[in-house]
Amino acid sequence: MRQNEMFLLKLGEVVLKGQNRRSFEDRLVANTARRLKSCGSFQVYIRQSTIYAEPTTDTCDMEAAYAAARQVFGVVSVARAVPCEKTVESIVETAKDYLADAFASARSFKVESKRADKNYPMNSIQLSQAVGGELAEAFPQVTVDVHNPDLTVHVEIREKHAYVHAPAVPGAGGLPVGMGGHAVSLLSGGLDSPVSSWMMARRGVELEMVHFVSPPYTSQQAQDKVLELAHLLTAYCGRLRVHIVPFTEIQEEIRKNCPEEYFTLIMRRFMMRLAQAIAKRAGAKALITGESLGQVASQTMMALAVTDDVTEMPVLRPLIGMDKVEIIRMSREIGTYDTSILPYEDCCTVFTPRHPATRPKVEDIRAAEAKLDVEGLTARSLEGEEWIWVKP
């Protein structure tokens, strides 16, 4: 770690908030500090719409912290920077030292300056010209190119210090987790539900997960796969509670008593009932699913109306207008793809009908479901529920 190196985390849409902006900023600082804690001791604070994360010991893992900072929702960019005195001489010396390797591999450069401290005697253009001129003399093999440079040297003049850094890298964006409410997400072992969970967490939603298991039809490996998906999501969301709900009896009763073309729809209705019961108990205000319109028979518009028929809470479906290619791309980007494609079946694939109904009517599903002890099956399933904390 270079002495004095630290991170500048730039805020995104948080800066557009009005009177409650302070609460968003406080939550974002707390989330950032919590996320960096595993990487060492950092002082984390906010000034002028920028979060500063400064290591307080030489033992901090700066590479791990750099990666972690990029996964904090609410942060749009992260830069590794070095503070220095607010003089041209100090800025130039810091840039020569800190960016020496970058200058060695660049053929052209420019300087971009920003003045958060409006009392600074030079404006941004004047500062860029002064620093750029000095750096051009110090690195004569690198030409100045203000339009398409290989290297951009960033200089920021802030309250106490100037900061020198190379271009920032993109952050996770979105809103701080915890500012968008509390919801329960139905997490299967497939591609869709981890992506939908990530998307809602990115909007500031604090998540709990519900996963349904059907032993002996589903294996321990399938459950472990889901817990690993939850673990991968904690890099963005923080720790997650995963509710494991037994579903075997419900599925067997559906198979014995209901028309085959309705198997999946009635199963989904039970899942929504159970998830809603868990959400109410947890104080959550919405359910989240990974459904995409028309992707499978149970996700047609009429089929979705059938499953929503048993819920009182809002059902958030962030993937509703996305196709499979987009979902796969996102799963790769957030790091869940390789785990999602592991060949362990979950309960959604148990007793799949050969010819599922695609245009079901709510009254027909209600009539088919009337042959079941809905309240008893739901109650016994909830009695068997267990939960597991999954940590980053």
Type of residue at 253: E
Q: What is the mean pLDDT of residues 37-55?
A: 94
Reply yes or no on whether the pLDDT at 1 is more than 60. no
Q: What is the mean pLDDT of residues 284-301?
A: 93
CA distance 148 to 146: 6
Q: What is the mean pLDDT of residues 309-329?
A: 97
pLDDT of res. 3 = 65
Structural tokens at position 327: 């979902």
DSSP state of 58: T
pLDDT digits (tens, 9 = 90+) for 226-257: 999 999 999 999 999 999 999 999 999 999 99
CA distances from 368 to 77, 101, 162 (A): 53, 70, 70
Which segments of the chain are extended strands (E)? 6-11, 42-47, 50-55, 75-84, 108-115, 143-144, 151-157, 162-165, 169-170, 182-186, 206-213, 240-246, 286-288, 315-316, 386-390
Reply yes or no on whether the pLDDT at 344 is more than 60. yes
Type of residue at 64: A
Reply yes or no on whether the pLDDT at 343 is more than 90. no
- Rounded CA Rg of the chain: 26
Q: Which residues are 81's β-sheet partners? A: 6, 165
Reply yes or no on whether the pLDDT at 355 is more than 80. yes
Supply the angle between the helices 88-98 and 124-138 in degrees, to the nearest 10: 50
In 3D space, the residue among 261, 287, 291, 255 whose CA is nearest the CA of residue 274 turns out to be 287
pLDDT of res. 351 = 73
Find the range with the poorest average confidence among 51-55, 168-172, 355-359: 355-359
Using the structure block, give the residue that is written with the tokens 């604090």.
206
Q: Which residue stretches of 48-202 are H helix?
A: 62-69, 88-98, 100-105, 124-138, 192-202
CA 373 from centre of chain: 39
What pTM was computed for the model?
0.91
Q: How many residues does the chain have?
A: 392
Q: What is the mean pLDDT of residues 163-180?
A: 94
pLDDT digits (tens, 9 = 90+) for 357-373: 889 999 999 999 999 99
The pLDDT-based confidence of 2 (bands split at 50, 70, 90) is low
- Contact status, residue 165 vs residue 91, Cβ threshold 8 Å: no
pLDDT of res. 4 = 87
- Contact status, residue 197 vs residue 189, Cβ threshold 8 Å: no
pLDDT of res. 223 = 94
Half-sphere exposure of 45 (CA within 13 A, CB side): 5
**Coil, helix or strand at residue 173:** coil
Q: Mean pLDDT for the chain? A: 94
